[in-house]
Each structure stands twice: as C-alpha cells, then as structure tokens.
C-alpha cells in the first residue's frame, strides 16, 4: 500500500462522508498518535449512519483496519450497510476479530 500510515489515516478521515466537526475530532486522535482509535471511531460513525461510502473508500478503510489491528466488529456494520445498498464491500479478511464500538456519528 503506497504512502505512510499517517498519510493514509488522514486521507481516510478527510475523504470520509462525515461532518467537518466529526473529521476534526477524529483528526485530534491522529495528532495524539492514536491512529487505531481514530480508525475505530471512523468505522463506528460510518456504520451507524446512512453514509455514501464508495467501495474504494471501504477497501482502503478495511486495509487500515487490518494494518492497525482494529477489531472486525468496528468494520462489519460498514460492510453490512454497503451490502444493503448493493455495493460490494465484504472481503472476508479486512480486520481482526472483536466487538463493535459505542461512539455515535457526528
């Protein structure tokens, strides 16, 4: 995957269909060095709302989840929403095991 981890995390947040306030909050975790937490919270927000996430965005997010060992439970709701809309997002190995988060969209 090209680019630094930091750059890919920032790009995922900046290109995500979340509010500007939500992006600022997520980026504050990145500034604090909490990349995995920022990605977990991004997944949680995307999985809780009706966000227009593209398949390409999902695949990049899934790659980050795997690289940062984000529990699969954070990514599954995003994949389910994509599947409901007929966008192929389920790839079977895009994150670790575990449970989902609790943060709500912003």
Q: Is residue 19 part of a domain?
A: yes
Residue 16's domain comprises 5-84
d(CA 78, CA 33): 24
> What local confidence, expressed as pLDDT, does residue 49 receive?
77
Backbone angles phi, psi at 103, to 5 degrees: -70, 140
Does residue 99 form part of some domain? no
In the chain, how many domains are there? Answer: 1
The pLDDT tens digits of the residues spanning 46-94 come to: 998 777 888 899 999 999 999 999 999 999 999 998 888 876 554 443 3
Q: What is the pLDDT of residues 67-76, one digit of tens each?
A: 999 999 999 9
Residue 96's pLDDT is 39
CA distance 77 to 84: 11
The answer to whether residue 101 is domain-embedded is no
With a cut of 80, say whether residue 102 has pLDDT above it. Answer: no
Q: CB of 75 within 8 A of CB of 43?
A: yes
The C-alpha atoms of residue 7 and residue 95 are separated, in whole angstroms, by: 19
In a domain, 94, yes or no: no
Residues 17 and 47: beta-carbon distance below 8 Å: no
Domain membership flag for residue 40: yes
What pLDDT is attached to residue 99? 37
Per-residue pLDDT of 7-42, as tens digits, reads 999 999 999 999 999 999 999 999 999 999 999 999
Domain membership flag for residue 104: no
Residue 93 is assigned to a structural domain of this protein: no
Q: What percent of the chain has pLDDT over 70?
A: 79
Q: What is the pLDDT of residue 87?
A: 64
In a domain, 44, yes or no: yes
């Amino acid at each position: 995957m090209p680019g630094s981890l930091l750059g890919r995390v920032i790009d995922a947040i900046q290109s995500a269909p979340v509010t500007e306030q939500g992006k600022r909050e997520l980026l504050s975790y990145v500034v604090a060095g909490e990349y995995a937490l920022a990605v977990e919270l991004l997944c949680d927000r995307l999985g809780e709302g009706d966000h227009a996430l593209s398949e390409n965005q999902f695949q990049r997010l899934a790659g980050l989840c795997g690289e940062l060992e984000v529990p699969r439970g954070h990514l599954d709701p995003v994949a389910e929403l994509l599947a409901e809309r007929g966008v192929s997002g389920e790839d079977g190995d895009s994150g670790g095991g575990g449970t989902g988060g609790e943060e709500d969209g912003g």
